[in-house]
A and B are shown apart, each in its own frame.
Chain A
Amino acid sequence: GAVVSQHPSWVICKSGTSVKIECRSLDFQATTMFWYRQFPKQSLMLMATSNEGSKATYEQGVEKDKFLINHASLTLSTLTVTSAHPEDSSFYICSARWGEVTEAFFGQGTRLTVV
């Protein structure tokens, strides 16, 4: 299958700072990338969908000004958690696909802890 690399795998930051998470498709051009979040004992929840060169589409209840998504190239999407607070501590994971192909490939995820 195709390879998606997500970085960093874990990060600890102070409350009020911003954190950037990168998601790269290594061997294909990702026209669409998805960002998910998972709280303990919960399922992966879709946060937003980004298409290359377009603004991201956010799911209901996800603050677009807090979770900035940039998908400027066909191989890179970034999620920036701005002014992070302890309640933003979670597991964030991206997936990517090309064209209208149904299958999407996942990164390894990022464990964010805000202290």
Chain B
Amino acid sequence: ILNVEQSPQSLHVQEGDSTNFTCSFPSSNFYALHWYRWETAKSPEALFVMTLNGDEKKKGRISATLNTKEGYSYLYIKGSQPEDSATYLCAWGGADGLTFGKGTHLIIQP
């Protein structure tokens, strides 16, 4: 059974502060690591697909790093805004479907 773990489960952050959270995954047979942003009543929105050890990707104020050897990825949000409030999912896998973590529920407080 593959385990993808995310921490923390939930997070309250003051507007303007920066934050980060973690995804850990099996380091063997690595294919790809996905990050999604999921707002209530909407489709999960793909943020990053990461495949290479040491990879670092950035999209606006959001960035992610990947360590496939030790099996973890960090997602960073710089200068949090209320619109960043969402559940952030990471998922491990690729061609045969994804194994998801339970997500980190992020709430940005004005």
Contacts and interface: CB of A to CB of B under 8 A. Distances in A.
Chains A and B bind each other: yes
Interface of A: 1, 4, 6, 9, 34, 36, 41-46, 49, 59, 93, 95, 100, 102-109
A42 B95 contact: no
Contacts of A106: 36, 43-44
Nearest to B89: A44
A108 B42 contact: yes
Given A49-B97, A104-B98, A108-B41, A43 B46 contact: no
Interface stretch (B59-67, B73-81, B99-107): B99-107
Nearest to B90: A43
A6 B32 CA distance: 25
B58 to A, nearest CB: 17
A4 B100 CA distance: 19
A103 to B, nearest CB: 5
Interface of B: 4, 31-32, 34, 36, 41-46, 49, 51, 89, 91, 94-103
Secondary structure class of chain A's binding surface, majority of residues: loop
Contacts of A107: 43
Contacts of A59: 97
Contact of B46 (A6, A45, A105): A105
A19 B89 CA distance: 28
Given A44-B89, A49-B97, A103 B46 contact: yes
B100 A43 contact: yes
